[in-house]
Structure 1
Amino acid sequence: MAQRHPDTAAETPVGLTADGLPGRDAGTVLEQYLRDQATGFLRALTAREGEPGRPQDDSAEAGRLMRRSARRIAGALHTYGSLTDPAWAEPLRAELGWLSGTLGREHQYAARLTRLITALQRLASAEDAAGAGAAGQADDDLGLWLPAPGEGPAANRPGTAAELAPADRRNGAGTAEALRETPARAVEGTEALAGAARAATGRRTPAPSPAAAERGTGTGPLAVGAARAGALLERQLTLARTRAHSAALQAVGSSRFHAVVDAVALLASEVPLTSAAHEPAEAVLPLLAEQAHTRLNEAAADLALARARHPYNADALYGALATEQVSERQDAPWNRVRVLLRLRRYAQEVLPYDDTDPTARFAAAARVLEQHREAADAAAAVTAAARTPRIAPATAYALGVLHADQRLEVEAARYAFAHLWSR
């Protein structure tokens, strides 16, 4: 993302067009945008508080639209705050942030629970499917079937995993002990058989079928603790969601909420402006939008993007395994860029653009950073669940695997953002 020289900051930023700005003052343009967002907020509020028998999905959608308008009003007041009365704009911006956060917390807990339960099922199914694939046979595309490593006559060669006691393999009781006694020989034998099979067929053992991958049950070490880990997460996050729902209901019925609604209703008819709002829009609004863009660039420059461009660098995972302060600090710069990117997108909605490329790229980057936040919050929820006293070892193991999976999702989001931002 190219940065602009301070001497040219007053010029129109790249991508902006002067169409629609000449002949209008800055306050008129800002008023129109705030009026549109306030109207959307009030319509969503009316739909949310409509008939008692209204479907829950419609109420959730109305709440989403209300939060969307509240965020855009607060963002516009932040970027173009010099055009409005600060004694009125600053308290309203803070109250809109409170309202958006309070109403959105229940949805966040519900989405977090769905994300974690789905990830647990996926990981357990992948483990079970991988075990089923290892026990199958490999096809060489010529109609010849070769035994997978550890099976068939070749497995009876000396120095292979077949030296494990047959009785132990039948009942599964002494397999772990036998592996501890001859780990090197078992691994060497398995690798030799795998190499021979690949040399003969030119192929690896086929991947598990989609039907096997979709199974939600398994018998592996992860599947043993996945059910208990899922129950623990469901209990904790459902409790948090219930409390968030109660807090939202209390907020909607409070005098504080009605004061916010009254202030937003004022936006639909009149916006308290300053004398700076009477200046030409083409001279004021692009400069303020460019300042928001500069803040975004400076925050993005502080990120370790060069490191994030390398896949599987494991910075996100290693940082989460460090002390709690380091784990929290490593996500903070990315969350700050996410907030500034949102403000930049809202700022550019006020101004007309000559093409949609900057808007589309910013929207894609915002989606990636939102996935980053969701994965990081999900990993934090898993960490909180793992601190539960006296949990079973299998449950702790499943939570550890789930935590690593979510931190790898964080790393994947950083990788995507680094490549997207450098375009």
Structure 2
Amino acid sequence: MAQRHHDLTDPTTGPVTTGDALAGYLRDQATEFLRALRLHRETGGATSNGGSSGTAANASEERVDAVRALRRSARRISGSLHTFRPLLDTEWSEGIRPELAWLSGTLALENAYGARLERLLLALNRLSGSAPKPVPAQAPGVSGTAGMGGASGTAGMGGASGTSTGERAPARPTAPDRGNLTVGAAKAGALLDRQLTLARTRAHSTALQALGSSRFHAVADQVAVLASEVPLTPAAPGTDLRPLARAAEERLSDAVTALPLVTAGSPYNAEALIHGLSPEPAPHPQDAPWHQVRLLLRLHRYACEVVHGRGTPLEVRLLAAGQALDRHRDASEAASAAAQAARTPRIAPATAYALGVLHADQRHEVEAARYAFQRSWQKQTIGTP
């Protein structure tokens, strides 16, 4: 029988949590940010000093972890500043919060493009009836910065393009095998590989520039101050955090209530395909409310961490809902990439057709994720109260 977790923002659950806990949480996150930054800088110098390929690979693995930790801490600090902003110095919090969001988003792009390409090539192989052939990702950092030089067309998807930012491309299938697939599908895979590899290489350059910019150093300096001194308002240390945490949960519940769950009541929604390949490159109009719910669910999770500690387990329902929304985001962005590729001028009709089928497949994945979210969100946990 499933165990029922406490409502993490219920006023009757646990002791009162005050602004002192918020200060401690922010200090901890700032310390993790600085620790990750120090690790990233240390491992960034490891490959430039020579050494064996094994040492370089280990350093690159550590850089991957360091960048992930930077993003994770930046998201948590920014989200907590948003939820609990009445308890913080307004000018300070409104100044640093968008900077942290900028940093987290910039560092996420390179890996997102690599994962998107992997997803689309796997789908092309599946739709064409061909078993994928995984290619192990090159160990990050082994090739220096070749991905940024003249060989960027191929090295960009290997470890080379993630040498300094720490993001590595996941192992991915090869482009569709021309012996088993139609020419259209093979050319569609090659086109996606070309476009998303270029996008990933550019994202890598942007991340490098960001990490070396005065803007980033200003953010790091502010986080360093936060690690020792949190600018709370005079009344914050004794203020109960739970009403603000409940407000974050209510915003999430309201956003979920506004979702078109009736439309998502079955795994297939034909309306979601309308305008999918239109000349207008704007994001799909149905997706924005779901992306907003994903953001609000993340803010709710962070609020729960502040109020009850990071070791307190969330409901299985919330975890499953978050996973469904992650799949929704990934499929939505992959569908957009397929549609963008289909708008490439002067491509062959067979290539455009394959990309259209791929787009439809990813929109079906979007609908399946919505259906999974609906089922997980509405599911009642059975157990002892």
Q: TM class by shorter-chain length?
A: 0.7 to 0.9
Q: Give, in whole Å, the separation in 2 of the partners of 1:356 and 1:314.
A: 40
Q: State the partner residue of 2:77.
A: 73
Q: Give, in whole Å, the separation in 1 of the partners of 2:283 and 2:93.
A: 35
Q: State the partner residue of 1:380.
A: 336
Q: Return the offset for 1:419.
A: 0.9
Q: State the partner residue of 1:87.
A: 91
RMSD: 2.7
Determine if the alignment matches structure 1 residue 50 to structure 2 residue 42.
yes
Q: How many residues align?
A: 320
Q: 1:315–1:421: structure 2 CA closer, same or farther, 3 Å change rule?
A: farther
Unaligned ranges ≥5, structure 2: 1-6, 48-55, 133-173, 380-385
Q: Return the offset for 1:125.
A: 2.0
Aligned-pair identity in percent equals: 55
Determine if the alignment matches structure 1 residue 34 to structure 2 residue 15.
no
Q: Give, in whole Å, the separation in 2 of the partners of 1:304 and 1:410.
A: 13
Letter in 1 for 2:85: G
Letter in 2 for 1:391: I
Task: Show the 5 A alignment for 1:338-353.
Answer: 338-352=294-308
Q: Give, in whole Å, the separation in 1 of the partners of 2:213 and 2:274.
A: 44
Relative contact order higher in (CA < 8 Å, ≥ 6 apart): 1
Q: Contact 1:125/1:215 (CA < 8 Å) preserved in 2?
A: no
Q: 1:16–1:405: structure 2 CA closer, same or farther, 3 Å change rule?
A: farther
Deviation digits for residues 223-271 of structure 1 (CA, Å, limit 9, x no counterpart): 3212111111111111111111111111111111001001111111000
Q: Contact 2:188/2:355 (CA < 8 Å) preserved in 1?
A: yes
Q: 1:324–1:420: structure 2 CA closer, same or farther, 3 Å change rule?
A: farther
SS of the counterpart of 2:266? coil
**TM-score, length basis structure 2:** 0.77
Q: Contact 2:125/2:131 (CA < 8 Å) preserved in 1?
A: no
Q: State the partner residue of 1:109.
A: 113
Q: Contact 1:228/1:395 (CA < 8 Å) preserved in 2?
A: yes
Q: Give, in whole Å, the separation in 1 of the partners of 2:353 and 2:182.
A: 10
SS of the counterpart of 2:42? coil
Q: 1:28–1:288: structure 2 CA closer, same or farther, 3 Å change rule?
A: same
Q: Return the offset for 1:326.
A: 8.2
Letter in 2 for 1:68: R
Q: Give, in whole Å, the separation in 1 of the partners of 2:12 and 2:344.
A: 53
Q: Give, in whole Å, the separation in 1 of the partners of 2:176 and 2:298.
A: 37
Q: Give, in whole Å, the separation in 2 of the partners of 1:329 and 1:314.
A: 14
Task: Show the 5 A alignment for 1:16-415.
Answer: 17-19=13-15, 21=16, 26-51=18-43, 52=45, 53=47, 54-55=56-57, 56-125=60-129, 217=177, 223-280=182-239, 284-318=240-274, 320=276, 324=280, 328-352=284-308, 358-415=314-371
Q: Contact 1:345/1:363 (CA < 8 Å) preserved in 2?
A: no
Q: Contact 1:321/1:327 (CA < 8 Å) preserved in 2?
A: no
Q: Contact 2:279/2:343 (CA < 8 Å) preserved in 1?
A: no
- Which of the pair has more CA radius of gyration? 1
Letter in 2 for 1:389: P
SS of the counterpart of 1:388? coil
Deviation digits for residues 201-243 of structure 1 (CA, Å, limit 9, x no counterpart): xxxxxxxxxxxxx9964767x6321211111111111111111
Q: Give, in whole Å, the separation in 2 of the partners of 1:391 and 1:229.
A: 9
Whose helix fraction is larger, Structure 1's or Structure 2's? 1
Deviation digits for residues 277-305 of structure 1 (CA, Å, limit 9, x no counterpart): 0324xxx2110001001111111111111
Unaligned ranges ≥5, structure 1: 1-10, 129-213
Q: State the partner residue of 1:204.
A: none
